[in-house]
Amino acid sequence: MNDLTADLLARIKNGIERKRETVLVPKTKMNIEILKVLEMEKMISGYSESEEGISVGLMYDDKEPVISSLKRVSKPGQRIYIASKDIIPVMNGRGISIISTSKGLMSGAMAKSKKLGGELICEVW
């Protein structure tokens, strides 16, 4: 497995499609940082680390998932970088983008407010 971030997004997406309460994902520093952003933006209920990996709690609103889609933008074969002035809202503000900046991973709105650009990791809505 080369792209553990894509694996994280696929596991969350599959868990949502199967109406799971929690999913188990590989434990990496990048995955933990992505999950911190998702938790801060109220897209997941939380996560906990263990020996096997990270257990991610998925959120539902009246049996409808909070996250409907996850899209990996920057891939290992083709990195996508974006300037702060080029950051646009995802799905007219209903979703978030996750950007790897020089100050760490953060949502697109936070990066734009701090005038930071970086690698566009993924979009979640």
Per-residue pLDDT tens digits for 35-92: 999 999 999 999 999 999 999 999 999 999 999 999 999 999 999 999 999 999 999 9
Q: Any idea what the CATH number is for the domain that residue 17 is in?
A: 3.30.1370.30
Query: With 0-12 CB in 10 A as exposed, 13-18 as middle and 19+ as buried, what is 94?
Result: exposed
What mean pLDDT do residues 27-41 have?
A: 98
CA dihedral angle for residue 100, residue 102, residue 106, residue 110, rounded to 10 degrees? -130
Residues 57 and 109 in one domain: no
Q: Which range marks the domain in which residue 76 is found?
A: 70-124
For residue 1, the model assigns a pLDDT of 72
Residues 43 and 61 in one domain: yes
